[in-house]
Structure 1
Amino acid sequence: MAIVDPTGAEPVPEDRPTHVVRLDAGLVEYRLERRGPAIVVVLHGGHTRAGLPVGEEVFVEAGHTVLAPSRPGYGRTPLSTGTSTSGFADVVGALCAHLGITEVAAVVGTSGGGPTAVTMAARHPGLVRRLILQSAVGTLPWPGRPTRIGAHLLFGTRSERVTWGALRLLLRRAPDTALRLLLSGLTTLPVSDVLADLGPEERAAMIELFCRMRSGHGFLNDLRPTPDLTADIGQPTLVIGTRADRGVPFAHARSLASGIPRAELVESGAASHLMWFGSAWPTTAEKIRAFLSDNRTGGTR
């Protein structure tokens, strides 16, 4: 079964199964895929949601259970459920309690999900053992004024459906042109270099990812400033970034690593913000596996 796009583009593959629960703070959508006893909470970035996994393969291959909630304004989590990073960090803590989860091996914050992951680690040290940040928005001002203006034009309440519908149509009819357009905002390198680093399967996976993205009310909410809680994080932290990232500049990774007391900065050789695509990812994935399996990194202050 597939979702039919109202713009007339080809059908979009259906999301992974998710659930919705009503907590004291409101409704929250989540996906829970049980494997081993170790649990990883994944807070995805902008334009994605619980039913759309991004960069989770490293945790799946390690046998970890994955809990992925949709952040406010994405998927079936309304904007009113824990709108702020602190509010939603507490919502995720309440969701864990609802599911009988008393400890998570790591909270993973990707891109726009980074601030919530940082906040969750700071506010719930008894629950969270480790923190992993991938291409994450940090404490520096973000985004720049041109991007902020463009976001309100393209991803506003009335425009985001049309924007993504048009992009899906372009991705199906002229995929190379569409990828060049989308990647131009995600890399500091020539787009041709990024595309040359992708195999056919990766290129197809990237096209499908872009085809399935939606912004809802969530992306504009992500643009709100968040408090700097990095100094309050006692957990071991892995901060991963790439100098080729135009979406969230590498300076954010440096800032996060310098502000979190027990942080290790890993400079990925990825060619774009989407670090899971390309020849550099296996090396980065191995660092993540080592970080998760090192018992010496567990625990809090």
Structure 2
Amino acid sequence: MELATQVIALAEGPVEYRLERRGPGVVLMLHGGHMRAGLPLGEEVFADAGYTILAVSRPGYGRTPLATGTSPDGFADVVAGLCAELGLGPLAAVVGQSAGGPTAVALAARHPELVERLILQSAVGPVLWPDRRTRMGAAVVFHPGTEAVTWRLIRAMTRRAPGLALRLLLPDLTARPVAVVLASLTDARRGALLDLFGRMRSGAGFRNDVRATSTPRAVARLAAAAARVSRPALVIASRDDGSVAYDHARSLAGTIPHARLVASAAPSHMIWLGDDYPAIAATITGFLESGTVSPPPSTSR
């Protein structure tokens, strides 16, 4: 399901966003690779709890151009400016999913006055990512000349050969045998995955994500940012994640000073489709309701 978005012109450049106003608390969603502000993922737990949701398309995705704050640090500052422009803050939580994790960490580290809590879901951490095979594949299938064709083919498969589409796409998401994962999916979960795959696009965003965490220098910057996070953090990941290895979650939880690590029983990167997600959602709700967060210490960027 694609939701309506809008574009705001900031000094740093245009930013696409979606704002769904509910209660006074605001949760910022920084989605992962191949996603954009109009594609909701894992938001129900926040909406059901009455939080206003602000979703932002990261650089290179949707209608946010790559030039608008290319790096996680740069875009974190852009998001802080967006919140100021919209009159939002402090944020009850910033949620970083998958490749959106580094920007969420950077935002919490650079703008502690804006972020009360940090939630990281299947997030890229201070570990080299992705592996060499994925980097090489991304350079080909998500090249500017082929990216649109790649996703047209995937959309066609999800409609005409859904079983084949899942068999081809799931190996990049799971460390388990694909047949085992397929057998564990209910019809509703199959449908949710196919709908999501059928709506994804990479633009220039995924290649930018790869550059952001694929060098030792980039990993060192992310580790330094994680160590500066002064806010409580909840790190959630599956041991069977085939896209972002569980080592990322362990590294994040071990580096962020006030972090709790929760292992999901989901058989893939998609923790939201695991049998234990209702329990994880309850953990998230409890984390959000865990009392007032004290003002941050004085920091410098």
TM-score, with length taken from structure 1: 0.93
**2:245 equivalent among 245, 249, 254:** 249
Q: Deviations over 1:93-118 (max 9, x none)?
A: 00000001131000000000000000
Q: How many angstroms does 1:297 deviate by?
A: 5.5
Q: CA deviation at 1:284?
A: 1.2
1:68 aligns with 2:55: yes
Structure 1: which 5+ residue stretches go unaligned?
A: 1-12
Aligned pair partner of 1:95 in 82, 103, 118: 82
Given candidates 126, 142, 164, the residue that maps to 1:177 is: 164
CA contact (8 A) 1:39 1:104 kept: yes
The alignment partner of 1:177 has SS state of helix
What amino acid is the match of 1:283? A
Q: Equivalences for 1:2-41 in 2 at 5 Å?
A: 15-41=2-28
Counterpart residue number, 2:231: 235
2:278 equivalent in structure 1: 282
Superposed CA RMSD in Å reads 1.1
Equivalent in the alignment of 2:154:
167
Write the distance in 2 (CA, Å) between the matches of 1:183 and 1:274. 10
* Match 2:142 to one of 155, 159, 168: 155
Q: Distance in 2 between matches of 1:211 and 1:273?
A: 17
> Using the alignment, how far apart are the partners of 2:128 and 2:193 within structure 1?
28
Change (3 A) 1:104 1:211: same
Give yes or no for contact 2:174–2:268 (8 Å, CA) kept in 1.
yes
> How big is the shift at 1:197?
2.4
Stretches of 4+ moved more than 4 A in 1? 296-299
Q: Does the Cα contact within 8 Å between 2:26 and 2:89 map onto a contact in 1?
A: no
Is 1:146–2:133 an aligned residue pair? Answer: yes
* Contact 2:265/2:274 (<8 A) preserved: no
- Once the two structures are TM-superposed, the CA of residue 298 in structure 1 deviates from its matched residue by 5.9
2:187 aligned to 191, 200, 205, which one? 200
Select 2:99's aligned residue among 101, 108, 112.
112
Match of 2:113 in 1: 126
Q: % of aligned pairs identical?
A: 57
Q: Is the 8 A contact 2:94 2:117 kept in 1?
A: yes
**Is the Cα–Cα contact under 8 Å of residues 118 and 231 in structure 2 kept in the other structure?**
yes
Q: Which runs of 5+ in 2 are unaligned?
A: none
What is the Cα deviation at residue 232 of structure 1?
0.4
- Residues 151 and 266 (structure 1 numbering): CA distance in 2 closer, same or farther, change over 3 Å? same
The answer as to 2:245 corresponding to 1:258 is: no
The match for 2:197 among 210, 215, 239 is 210
What is the alpha-carbon distance in structure 1 between the residues aligned to residue 248 and residue 94 of structure 2? Answer: 18
Look up the SS of the partner of 1:252 in the other structure: helix
